[in-house]
Amino acid sequence: MKKYKIAALLMIIHGGFMELGGSLALIPVLILGKDHINIEHYFSFIVPYLRENLYLMMVMSGIYGVIRLIGAIGLLKNRLWGLTLSVINCVITMALMIFMLPAGIMDGILACTALILMLTQYFGKRKIVE
């Protein structure tokens, strides 16, 4: 159970600070207007499509952060749905992190670490074939 708690803590840090924190940065932009703040100056992605649609990426980041937090809370409450949602979230992050460089590096470190902890806790020392 200890590995689940560590994985959930990593996911809370990831979802709360990185995902939700990034999307909350959109609030001053919406209040002040896009003309006053050049958000592209602070965030960059290697894929031009993501760079051109940065505001939509920030909204999606907020949604993703909430889902990550829900999975982490389910994992902390020892619910199987929390484990399943968390594993799905980590796998999707692994698939998408390459498109979101340089931020994807930190996404990958946190998500992959949490996924390894969850899988090693769930499967333990079981072997593929006895």
For residue 9, is it within any domain?
yes
**What is this structure's pTM?**
0.82
CB atoms within 10 A of CB 79: 13
Q: How far is CA 91 from CA 7, 27, 95, 115, 116, in A?
A: 14, 29, 6, 8, 11
pLDDT of residue 118: 96
**Lookup: tokens for 98:** 């390459």
130 is a domain residue = no
Place of tokens 């333990």: 124
Handedness of CA 85, 6, 111, 118 (dihedral sign): negative
What pLDDT, on the 0 to 100 scale, is given for residue 53?
77
In a domain, 128, yes or no: no
pLDDT at 47: 74
pLDDT of residue 24: 75
* Count of the separate structural domains present in the chain: 1
Which structural domain range is residue 16 located in?
2-123
- Amino acid 38: pLDDT: 60
Collect the ranges in the chain with pLDDT lower than 70: 29, 33-44
Residue 11 lies in a domain: yes
Q: What confidence score (pLDDT) does residue 12 get?
A: 94
Report if residue 53 sits inside a domain.
yes
CA dist 87 and 90 (Å) reads 5
- Residue 129 falls within a domain, yes or no? no
